């Protein structure tokens, strides 16, 4: 084994070990700490593996290029935490720390749906929206490491309030919670199941939801000109949505018919994507 990657979520921390060929050779999962103790939790996970040469950690929230976590949802003790420095001191091996959605994007680029595509955008559609950008074969992080927070692009001025403190953010309309609101359901998954079962009101809600998804994809396309979009997350990776997104995107393009339509693929690595990507980032950082 060469690298361990850890995906820190709101309810659990998933760690995988990969060998020199990028193959997953071990996996452990523990609950995320409720009150403090994230560093101890991560150290304990790494120590469940043997022969570790480097470690990668995918964190929700804002992560700077030097591995400092400015803010992490669901982890109130994490404010301007020098996580990389602390972990390297305790573990004695090189550590890479990055945003969790960026890690998932790296995993899909290197080992999943985006293999061979060096201009790729991953959009994770779950309770909210996150993502990562691969531009000309490199991870695009921006000046402060915060690139890829496009779930908080404004799509409706004065629209639905968002937990980020603003209103009208894309994720309020094109996330699982946005779909649930449109469908009058308890969750995006419930709305999709009603759609699959032939419920006409759910079908109308899903069609409107896909329109909102495509509004954001077109904005990203105009900004980054990707060859490929990879859709992940509990809602985004649902097979039923893929043909609808492709269809709506093809007719919503600016300069319709005069420029290539980006491919749209489902993420392939499932719940392991963030952890695998963190391990791969540890390899290339």
Residue 72's pLDDT is what?
A: 83
Average pLDDT, the chain: 93
Residue 264's nearest CA partner among 121, 85, 61 is 121
- Which of the two residues, 114 and 35, has the higher pLDDT score? 114
What are the helix and strand counts (H, E) for the chain?
Answer: 9, 13
Say what the pLDDT of residue 82 is.
96
- Of 266, 165, 16, 13, nearest to 5 by C-alpha is 16
pLDDT band, very low/low/confident/very high, at 1 (cuts 50, 70, 90): low
Q: Where are the domains of the chain?
A: 3-103+272-284, 115-267
Q: Measured between alpha carbons, how far is 23 from 20 in angstroms, rounded to an integer?
A: 7
Instruction: Show the CA angle centred on residue 78, arms to residues 75 and 82, nearest 5°.
Output: 145
| Exposure string over 141-156, b if 16+ CB within 10 A, otherwise e | beeebbbbbbbbbebe
**pLDDT on residue 178:** 95
Q: Which of 36-40, 184-188, 229-233 bottoms out in mean pLDDT, i.e. has the lowest?
A: 36-40
Residue 11 has pLDDT above 70, yes or no: yes
Mean pLDDT for 151-167 is 93
pTM for the whole structure: 0.90
- Please indicate whether the domains covering 3-103+272-284 and 115-267 agree at the CATH topology level: yes
Higher-confidence residue: 18 or 71? 18
- CATH code for 115-267? 3.30.420.40
Neighbours of 175 (CB within 10 A): 28
CATH for 3-103+272-284, among 3.30.420.40, 3.30.1360.70, 3.40.50.300, 3.40.1390.30? 3.30.420.40
Please say if the pLDDT value at position 102 is more than 80.
yes
What pLDDT was estimated at residue 242?
A: 95
Average pLDDT estimate for 241-247: 96
Per-residue pLDDT at 205 exceeds 90 = yes
Q: Percent of the chain having pLDDT more than 90?
A: 81
State the DSSP code for 188.
H
Q: Mean of the pLDDT values across residues 40-59? A: 95
Mean pLDDT of the region 203-223: 96
How is the chain split among helix, strand and coil, in percent rounded to 5?
A: 40, 25, 40
Contact between 12 and 285 under an 8 Å Cβ cutoff? The reply is no
Using a 10 angstrom Cβ sphere, with 0-12 exposed, 13-18 middle and 19 or more buried, the burial of residue 134 is: buried
């Amino acid at each position: 084994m060469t690298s361990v990657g850890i995906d820190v979520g709101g309810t659990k921390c998933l760690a995988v070990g990969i060998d020199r060929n990028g193959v997953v050779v071990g996996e452990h999962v523990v609950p995320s700490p409720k009150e403090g103790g994230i560093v101890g939790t991560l150290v304990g996970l790494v120590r469940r593996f043997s022969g570790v040469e480097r470690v990668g950690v995918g964190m929700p929230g804002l992560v700077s290029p030097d591995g400092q976590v400015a803010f992490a949802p669901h982890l109130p003790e994490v404010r301007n935490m020098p996580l990389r420095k602390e972990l390297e001191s305790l573990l004695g091996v090189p550590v890479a720390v990055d945003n969790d959605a960026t890690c998932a994007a790296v995993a899909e680029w290197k080992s999943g749906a985006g293999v061979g595509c060096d201009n790729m955008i991953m959009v994770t559609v779950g309770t909210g929206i996150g993502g990562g950008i691969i531009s000309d074969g490199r991870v695009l992080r921006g000046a402060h490491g915060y690139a890829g927070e496009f779930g908080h692009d404004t799509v409706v001025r004065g629209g639905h309030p968002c937990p980020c403190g603003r209103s009208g953010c894309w994720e309020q309309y094109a996330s699982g919670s946005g779909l649930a609101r449109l469908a009058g359901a308890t969750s995006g998954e419930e709305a999709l199941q009603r759609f699959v079962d032939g419920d006409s009101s759910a079908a109308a809600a899903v069609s409107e939801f896909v329109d909102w998804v495509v509004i954001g994809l077109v904005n990203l396309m105009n900004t980054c000109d990707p060859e490929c979009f990879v859709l992940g997350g509990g809602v985004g990776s649902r097979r039923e949505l893929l043909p609808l997104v492709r269809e709506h995107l093809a007719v919503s393009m600016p300069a319709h018919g005069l420029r290539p339509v980006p491919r749209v693929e489902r993420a392939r690595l499932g719940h392991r994507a963030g952890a695998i990507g963190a391990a791969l980032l540890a390899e290339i950082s």
